[in-house]
Structure 1
Amino acid sequence: MIAAAVDKADDAFLRSATLIDALARTSVLLPDLLGQDGERKYLVLVQNNAEWRSLGGISGSAILLRTEDGAVSLGDTESATALSRDTPEPIMDLPEQITSIYGTRPARYFHNLTEIPDFSVDGSIAKEFYAKKTGVSVDGVIAVDPVLLSYVLAATGPVNLPDGERLTSSNATTLLMRDVYERYPDPVQQDAFFAAATGATFQALLDGRGSAAGLISALSRAGDEHRLLIWSARADEQSVLAGTSIAGPLPTSDGRTTRFGVYLNDGAGSKMSYFVSPRTSLTWDSCPSASGDENRVLRLHLDLVSTAPADAATSLPLYITGNGAYGTAPGTAKVVANFYLPQGFNLTSAESTNGASFESASYDRRTVLTVGVDVAPQQSIGIDIVVQGASMAPDAEAFVTPTADPDLDPIVRAPCRGVAGASLR
């Protein structure tokens, strides 16, 4: 009992230390970020987790944020559709290790920026995209999602939207990732609604509504869950951010923790990701021995569970189901999963309950497995990945794509201190 309590406290302290480090690094940059030496421009990407991309969801819209002498203001809003228009060729060349997994999509469609699970790459693509489409060069890129907005609204209180809707911490995720498609079948109206909701929430934040402690807590939680990402176009500032959770890095193993990456993407042009729950667990087969010379086995299990109604094909709006536009039956979610294996570990086996085959590639010295599965309404598809390697790390983690569900922690942890495994359901 005492040992378990000590382990739990130790984990809490480590997580707190990580957040404090990220906030401390950001505070060092804050005067420059707020334009103490002249105007700064930042691009705010609003991800929509109803249509998964590796780091959260499609970048549905982009808002220009300006800072100067500590004053912050919101500028023009552009939809991803407008920014992607007339882009038959990639706006920049991508290295082969990226195109072998994701093709050129992230550099041809603004929606797909965060398909690459490395925000230092995504930020530079977003900057180039925006400059070529608008002529405006930004100093950095910030990514947020509706769940983050709900955390902020819990601190600031509700905000009013132009159409009279009241956006609150309790209705933000459902309203922005499901209800909007029932109310507004026109994507232009949807984009306008998203922009208005994000703008109103940011304005409440900029107006200083709510307590400082509440806002710090909201942003800290979002940063810990990888829902708040920041990239700076200035190398010296990016070096300060590097290694923190808000920099959106690839999972990197160290002497204490072995890390997986589990990144999910919608493959049907639908919003059915809203109805899929990725239930992930990790299990060590053994704890490290005193000699540390044996290969240890780490197992990752992923259940993709659809909560969509059985009659989703007809009961949900066509814009949510995708209407079969890319060959997937309406109401079915097509999930393309990329598994980034821990460095130093070799693949033992990879299986899915529906018999889907896996493809293998390499990214930044990591083996990447890719599999596509169709998840019908009320169906569950299981995926098992087993790896083996020499490691003295007592703990394991998996970074999982943040979803629309704030109760589903995107960081899954498994300690190996006399505990068989850990999971999140």
Structure 2
Amino acid sequence: MQLLGGVTDLGNLDNLDTVSQQISQAKTETAAANEIAHGTLWNIASKAPVYGDDITTVQGMTSVVDSLVSDSVPQFMNVLSTLKSAQLSSGDGQLNLQPILEAQKNIATANQSLQQQVQKYQQLPKAHIGMVKNAYATGNTQLTKMADKVNQLSGTFQILPDFLGSDQPRTYALMAMTTSEERSSGGLIGSVGVVTTDNGKIGIGDFRSNGEYIPYGAGDPTEDEQRIFRQWGPLNMSFDVRDLAVYPDTSRSAEGMRAIWQRTPWGSNTQLDGVLMVDPVFLQELTKISGNVTIPDGTVLTGDNTAEFLLNKVYVDYPVSMQDALFAQVAEQAVGSMFSNIDLAKLTKVAQLMGSMAEGRHFSMYAFDETAEKTISDAGFTAQTPSSEEHPQVGVYVTEQNPSKMGWYIHRTSKVTRSTCGNDGSQTYHVEYKMTNTLENSQIGALTSYILGSGGQGVEKTLIYAPAGGSISNLKISGGSVTESRQETLNGKPCMRAMPR
């Protein structure tokens, strides 16, 4: 298992040859261990009551590791070795897409094989013996980490060529969100830039503040969206560009953006191919890869302070008239340099970042071309309400009802505990979701009403979705001024709505 840890160290690609040699040498050892664990005496022992499960678990562990070392991992390492020797940069900030196009199928095949083996490992019987339990837990941690990183890399490789205009130039709206004013998909849209891609080259610019888009109307909300987000306040959503992230599904944010885009003088004659939604956390992580950003007053934004600056300090230290421009500068420089001076090390970092940020809803994308969007959605880059029974999730979506920048001070935590597991495979979980206002009374006097809104309180309209194919019961709300929850339907999907008084 320790050997497989080298596969996940994609930030250090100088050791690819060494890891490949070690894996090749390990094939003999894992094959021997697997043969021993499946010998006659072991097979007999696996039938024993209770502790036979421990034998079965050990057999399963050796079988999975043997399969990984002899098949899945070598496939993946071969892809990396090929890409490492390829010319990935075409110069002038352009990514050479041909090696990625050639690697797509192979990395998808390796990823599928690897995911199947990890899933097989995770379905092994629960061990009773301490030594086996510990070995299993350690292996599960390492395998899960490896599976997540390879899956992120594979997913990004599937979407990159289309996104970067391998077959035709593309135009995207880059929607910069401030999660200091929460919306279901992230935060209030402060500004929108234009991203163009063409055969691996990315261009970014034409950032406009939300104020420039407001005169061109709303994003065509549905009746359900009108009822839940506008008719039922206390804050009535405008559905203009500022509030397009109020929808839990990126597809609806994209459709609303396109409707507004087509009415603008700068967008009416330009086809919009899709949207990218980014928040300050994503931009901060990009600066770690692509380099610091220096704003006009000399402040240097890094991979450690960018998010705090854009989510809080910009509202404390700078006038409103400068805020959108500062956000736009950071977004333009960070996103614009994602694929500049690219090599395999940077490419894998960007790929994994896009995957992990999409999982956390710090980054999302949507394409209006159905074929391209299916690839993007399958790779997990289009945020949406729970839709997969295979990968169950509970959806909790918060929209701030106190016009403010209080989101920086509202800390959210969740805790999920499995309660029961039925013989038919059904499972019951207890889910606890907690929002805490961390703003101290002593801080209020130093902050403006622009940040505090009305009294420095978080007033959260919350939508709660059950996992796909599941249900919610015994919902209890405590510790805040809220009405009782009620059952709702938003665009064909049932959910629970908790409203502030």
TM beyond 0.5: yes
Give the letter for the 1:341 counterpart: A
Q: String of CA shifts for 1:2-34, please: whole Å, max 9, x gaps.
A: 336535644764575466445434433433332
Partner residue of 1:118 out of 240, 249, 262: 249
Taking structure 1 as reference, are residues 141 and 184 closer, same or farther at Cα in structure 2, changes over 3 Å only?
Answer: same
Q: Give the whole-Å Cα distance in 1 for the aligned partners of 2:186 and 2:325.
A: 20
Taking structure 1 as reference, are residues 124 and 252 closer, same or farther at Cα in structure 2, changes over 3 Å only?
Answer: same
Which position in structure 2 is the counterpart of 1:162?
A: 296
Which structure features the higher share of strand residues?
A: 1
Q: Is the 8 A contact 1:102 1:116 kept in 2?
A: no
Deviating more after overlay: 165-174 vs 351-360: 351-360
Q: Give the whole-Å Cα distance in 2 for the aligned partners of 1:15 and 1:254.
A: 22
The reply on whether 1:372 has 2:499 as its aligned counterpart is yes
Deviation at 1:253? 4.3
TM-score (norm 1): 0.76
Which position in structure 2 is the counterpart of 1:152?
A: 286
Which position in structure 1 is the counterpart of 2:459?
A: 334
Q: Give the whole-Å Cα distance in 2 for the aligned partners of 1:355 and 1:299.
A: 23
Which position in structure 2 is the counterpart of 1:63?
A: 193
Q: String of CA shifts for 1:331-382, please: whole Å, max 9, x gaps.
A: 11212211112233242333223362223202365432222348xxxxxxxx
Q: Give the whole-Å Cα distance in 2 for the aligned partners of 1:227 and 1:292.
A: 33
Deviation at 1:110? 1.1
Partner of 1:211: helix, strand, or coil? helix
Which position in structure 1 is the counterpart of 2:316?
A: 182
Which position in structure 2 is the counterpart of 1:201?
A: 334
Taking structure 1 as reference, are residues 117 and 360 closer, same or farther at Cα in structure 2, changes over 3 Å only?
Answer: same
Q: Give the whole-Å Cα distance in 2 for the aligned partners of 1:83 and 1:143.
A: 16
Which position in structure 1 is the counterpart of 2:6?
A: none
Q: String of CA shifts for 1:265-294, please: whole Å, max 9, x gaps.
A: 1111100010011121122322x133558x
Partner of 1:179: helix, strand, or coil? helix
Q: Is the 8 A contact 2:219 2:257 kept in 1?
A: no
Q: Is the 8 A contact 2:174 2:194 kept in 1?
A: yes
Q: Give the whole-Å Cα distance in 2 for the aligned partners of 1:70 and 1:190.
A: 31
Partner of 1:192: helix, strand, or coil? helix
Which position in structure 1 is the counterpart of 2:204?
A: 74
Taking structure 1 as reference, are residues 100 and 13 closer, same or farther at Cα in structure 2, changes over 3 Å only?
Answer: farther
Q: Give the whole-Å Cα distance in 2 for the aligned partners of 1:15 and 1:58.
A: 33
Q: Give the whole-Å Cα distance in 2 for the aligned partners of 1:48 and 1:8.
A: 38
Partner of 1:283: helix, strand, or coil? strand
Q: Give the whole-Å Cα distance in 2 for the aligned partners of 1:9 and 1:101.
A: 46
Deviation at 1:169? 0.9
Which position in structure 2 is the counterpart of 1:41?
A: 171
- How many matched pairs? 360
Partner residue of 2:482 out of 356, 364, 385: 356
State which structure, 1 or 2, has the greater radius of gyration over its C-alpha atoms: 2
- Map 1:11-410; keep pairs closer than 5 Å: 13=143, 17=147, 20-21=150-151, 23-85=153-215, 87=217, 90-92=218-220, 94-103=221-230, 108-133=239-264, 134=266, 135=268, 136-186=270-320, 188-208=321-341, 211-255=346-390, 257-286=391-420, 288-291=421-424, 297-322=428-453, 324=454, 330-342=455-467, 343-354=469-480, 356-357=482-483, 358-363=485-490, 366-373=493-500
Deviation at 1:117? 1.0
Contiguous gaps of at least 5 residues in structure 1: 325-329, 375-425
Backbone CA RMSD of aligned residues: 2.7
Taking structure 1 as reference, are residues 312 and 52 closer, same or farther at Cα in structure 2, changes over 3 Å only?
Answer: same
Partner of 1:201: helix, strand, or coil? helix
Q: String of CA shifts for 1:90-147, please: whole Å, max 9, x gaps.
A: 442x333333322487773212112111112211211222222232431111111111
Give the letter for the 1:145 counterpart: D
Give the letter for the 2:336 counterpart: Q
Which structure features the higher share of helix residues?
A: 2
Taking structure 1 as reference, are residues 372 and 9 closer, same or farther at Cα in structure 2, changes over 3 Å only?
Answer: farther
Q: Give the whole-Å Cα distance in 1 for the aligned partners of 2:460 and 2:330.
A: 28
Taking structure 1 as reference, are residues 140 and 60 closer, same or farther at Cα in structure 2, changes over 3 Å only?
Answer: same
Contiguous gaps of at least 5 residues in structure 2: 1-129
TM-score (norm 2): 0.65
Taking structure 1 as reference, are residues 170 and 309 closer, same or farther at Cα in structure 2, changes over 3 Å only?
Answer: same
Which position in structure 2 is the counterpart of 1:413?
A: none
Taking structure 1 as reference, are residues 290 and 165 closer, same or farther at Cα in structure 2, changes over 3 Å only?
Answer: same
Q: Is the 8 A contact 1:160 1:200 kept in 2?
A: no
Deviation at 1:70? 2.5
Q: Give the whole-Å Cα distance in 1 for the aligned partners of 2:472 and 2:307.
A: 38
Q: Give the whole-Å Cα distance in 2 for the aligned partners of 1:363 and 1:5.
A: 45
Q: Give the whole-Å Cα distance in 2 for the aligned partners of 1:29 and 1:218.
A: 14
Q: Give the whole-Å Cα distance in 2 for the aligned partners of 1:21 and 1:113.
A: 30
Partner of 1:264: helix, strand, or coil? strand
Give the letter for the 1:333 counterpart: G
Q: Give the whole-Å Cα distance in 2 for the aligned partners of 1:258 and 1:4.
A: 27
Q: Give the whole-Å Cα distance in 2 for the aligned partners of 1:118 and 1:20.
A: 26
Q: Is the 8 A contact 2:397 2:463 kept in 1?
A: yes
